[in-house]
Amino acid sequence: MRFFKNPNIDFINKRKIAFAISGLIILAGLISFIVKGGFNLSIDFAGGTLVQLKFDKPVDVGSLRDILGELKLSSMQITEFGSKDEVLIRFLPKTKNQTKEVENITDFLKQKIKDNNFEVRRIESVGPKVGTELKYKALWAILFSLIGILIYISIRFEFRFAIGAIVALFHDVLATLALFSLLDKEISLTVIAALLTIVGYSLNDTIVVFDRIREDVRTIRKKTFDEIINLSINQTLSRTIITSLTTLLVVIALLLKGGEVIFDFSLALFFGVVVGTYSSIFIASPILLFWQNRVKTSKKRY
């Protein structure tokens, strides 16, 4: 069985359409980011406390909100979590003693709701200072991995390849973040972990293509650089699609069956795999060509 028998698609020629699509997504993300006043940050970065409760019977989030409203918790959010009997309560503790505040909430709920018992399934609490630290740590982590990759590719390939790869990576991270902002999904530590994984994964795809370009440049003398790029992408197309497909299969399994706790993580991976595959075909190689042409024209001037 084969999906593609000797494909011959002119990817390079379609680069303008690709750039337009990518630009649009990132721009939409940027607008959403500005309008919403930043990302929807989880307590990992914003600080705060999260309590996950599982009730014996389904519970109405609206009435729960009314009941807890009496406690006047600051920036309280109550959301259903995965199923009708499970809820997430998020708030900003007023004192340093968040343990006491969580206890207040559970005691209060036990008092008010007598016919529906619940169990505390999870408590997460991050102080404001720690939140800020984690924010910087996450940014550094992303930066470090990008720098590491830039160095590795520059050594193993050439600098122009590294530029193509890095631009593609920025594109993937930005596009995924844009989608998260548009869908109003929370950015948490695990989402950042997923982003870093995407960086590695998308690069994997890009390198396979670049490897082929490098090989073809050596073996095929008669063709121009953009013809070779097109040929290489076509040659590796089956592999790119199949690997992405198998990875997507497992990510979909995670998304559907992995549970609510890692849903956002799986979602980021899902977006990332799709965007990463797309970028290694439509972004990385055209950028490589663009850089090549720019160097050539600047050389001609002399």
Question: Which window, 13-21, 31-39, 55-63, 245-253, contacts other proteins (CB under 8 A)?
Answer: 245-253
CB of 91 closer than 8 Å to CB of 131: no
CB-based contact 76:91 (threshold 8 Å):
yes
Binding string, residues 57-96; x marks residues near other proteins by CB under 8 A: ---------------------------------------x
Residue number with CB closer to other proteins (40 or 145): 145
Q: Does the protein bind other proteins through residue 7 (CB under 8 A)?
A: no
Stretch of 12-20, 59-67, 204-212, 294-302 lying at the interface with other proteins (CB under 8 A):
204-212
CA distance 250 to 13: 33
32, 40, 154, 204: which one contacts other proteins (CB under 8 A)?
Answer: 204
State the Cα–Cα distance between residues 158 and 151, nearest whole angstrom: 10
By CB under 8 A, is residue 285 in contact with other proteins?
no
Stretch that binds other proteins, among 16-24, 152-160, 175-183, 286-294 (CB under 8 A): 152-160
Please identify, among the stretches 17-25, 29-37, 61-69, 121-129, the one whose residues bind other proteins according to the rule CB under 8 A. 121-129
For 220-243, give one letter per residue: b (16+ CB within 10 A) or e.
eeeeebbebbbbbbbbbbeebeeb
Quote the Cα angle for 275-160-170, to 5°: 30
Q: Which residue carries 């408590």 as its tokens?
A: 123
Question: Is 196 near other proteins (CB under 8 A)?
Answer: yes
Extended strands (E) in the chain: 48-55, 74-81, 83-92, 118-126
Could you say which residues in the range 126-145 bind other proteins, by CB under 8 A? 126-127, 129-130, 137-138, 140-141, 144-145
